[in-house]
Amino acid sequence: GWDEREQIVDDACTPQSRKALDNVVAVVRAAGGEPQHIIGLTIYVTDKRVYIDEIVQIGEAYRAVIGKHFPSMALVEVSALLEPRAKVEIQGLAVLPAKGE
């Protein structure tokens, strides 16, 4: 959930998830792709219970950013992330169409 200044947007899980998804889509678009080109997401969380408790709100944020495209996803609970305030980190993998397709 980092913004453009590398600052955590909020201490809560849902806003961090939304910003992390925004960041994944921004990188894919910068490379010439769209959300439907994302083939996998690995979601790292520091507390899976909090993530599960907020799953409805996180799902709404997901659909607002990515729509109804659902690539493979994995949720991994970790003891900590690089930024001490971070609750969520999302790694995305996309396959972009060849130029001209």
Query: pLDDT digits over 26-65, tens only?
Result: 999 999 999 999 999 999 999 999 999 999 999 999 999 9
Is domain 13-94 given the CATH code 3.90.180.10 in the classification?
A: no
Give me the percent of the chain exceeding a pLDDT of 70. 98
Burial per residue of 58-81, b for 16 or more beta-carbon CB atoms within 10 angstroms, e otherwise: beebbeebbeeeebeeeeeeeeeb
Confidence band for 7, pLDDT divided at 50, 70 and 90: confident
What six digits make up the tokens of 20? 């992390």
Tell me what pLDDT residue 78 has.
98
pLDDT recorded at residue 9 = 85
The pTM of the full predicted model, rounded to 2 decimals, is 0.92
d(C-alpha 7, C-alpha 1), whole Å: 8
Residue 91 CA to residue 21 CA, distance in Å, equals: 9
In DSSP terms, which residues pair with 93 in a beta bridge? 40
